[in-house]
Amino acid sequence: MEKTNKLTGKELINVGIYSAMTLAVFFTIGLLTVLPVLYPLLLFLFPFFCGIPMMLYYTKIEKFGMLTITGILMGIFFFLIGYTWIGFAFWAAGGFAADLMLIPGHYQSFKFTLLSYAFFSLGMIGCPAPMWFAGQTYWDNINDSMGEQYASSLNSIMPPWMFWAGMGILLVGSICGSLLGRKMLKKHFQRAGIV
């Protein structure tokens, strides 16, 4: 049978399963946002713990497009719960960039898998990004939904320069998460031929 670049039904099912698993981990950790002081730490915890399902997902990826779809699905979810188009744009861009990073390694190199996951994780900045890019309206919504004290505390903990610091924290978390996921899933990586 001839190999095609088109995603199969099985691959699309894998996209759905692993996107849902990653989203469940992300969303569970995200419950800690009720404490604004934890926001900077969450930028590490998100890619660290999501690294486990994502590394398992990477053992199933053999074609371009799977991570792009995952990024779009994550972006749609966060758009629907109020993270604006800004969140969607970062998630989609992260997924697309992650797909591109796998090509040079022919889906068989852990070095490129790690690099790909780092780019995917940068898309996670889409969740806090509206704080820096959506203007006062976004802060007014936080103030109305969470209270003035919460909004004030969050504003002081997440100033504009935290966008760049957050990208760095996400990168460190993604590297640690990749290594943790690889260690926990060593047999899966061997079976998939990723070295």
Residue 2 in any domain: the answer is no
Residue 1 in any domain: the answer is no
> Rounded to an integer, what is the distance from CA 165 to the centroid of its chain?
16
Residue 34 in any domain: the answer is no
79-125 pLDDT per residue, tens: 998 888 999 999 999 999 999 999 999 998 999 999 999 999 999 99
Both tokens assigned to 45: 């915890």
Q: Mind giving me the DSSP string for 128-191?
A: TTHHHHS-HHHHHHHHHHH-HHHHHHHHHHS-TTHHHHHHHHHHHHHHHHHHHHHHHTHHHHHH
Amino acid at 160: P
Mean pLDDT of 163-191: 90
CB atoms closer than 10 angstroms to residue 28: 10
Residue 55 in any domain: the answer is yes
* Confidence band of 3 (pLDDT split at 50, 70, 90): low
Residue 186 in any domain: the answer is yes
Residue 36 in any domain: the answer is no
135-168 pLDDT per residue, tens: 888 889 899 988 999 999 999 999 999 999 999 9
Residue 35 in any domain: the answer is no
Residue 3 in any domain: the answer is no
Both tokens assigned to 67: 């991570």
Which residues form the domain of 135?
A: 9-28+41-192
What's the number of domains the chain is made of?
Answer: 1
